[in-house]
Amino acid sequence: MNLQLHHVVADITGATGLGIIHAILAGERDPEALACVRHYSCHSSAETIAKALTGSYRAEHLFALDQALALYDAYREKASACDVRIEAVLKELSTHRGRDHGSAPPVSRRRNRTDQANALAFDVRAALFVLLGKDITMIDGLGPYLSLKLIAECGGGDLTSWPSAKHFTSRLGFAPSK
């Protein structure tokens, strides 16, 4: 379609990008009207976006865009189903260990992190705290997502195999050999 939306919108899957794509697929072709879909937090001006949305809206390109959007929505739905399943497994593991689901991790002394685009749809840090009884995200370099992957690789949260942090980091290969 020779549209340049990806040059003026930082994240085409964000509010502005998806809003414009939905409007195009709903039949809107006027660049100024499409630019009005712009989310207030978008850095590009409406005029810049309108210039980027001048192109040819041929039927075969619109069909391809519709197909791509349908696949994107299907994959987001599948990812959401995975998030629900991961949360359920963490709760099940915690229940088998007799952990209380109401306990929350202590307030973090760490800096605030920005949200990740593909972050899980539940509080991973709290779920891992319930499972482990410890907040391993307090370890430098371990955020909630990496901590979840680490626990999955190490066998579901049973950290009793490692009596100390030195044993654990040695197992992971983080400790230098002598």
Query: What is the structure's pLDDT at 103?
Result: 61
pTM of the model: 0.72
Mean pLDDT by 10 residues, the chain (178 residues): 87 91 95 93 91 92 96 95 94 80 60 66 88 83 86 73 75 67
Q: How far apart are CA 15 and CA 66, in angstroms?
A: 17
Query: What is the structure's pLDDT at 60?
Result: 96
Domain ranges of the chain: 5-57, 81-172
Query: What is the structure's pLDDT at 69?
Result: 96
The DSSP string of 19-32 is: HHHHHHHTT---HH
**Which pair of tokens denotes residue 130?**
């319930």
Contacts of 39 (CB under 8 A, 6+ apart): 14, 15, 16, 19
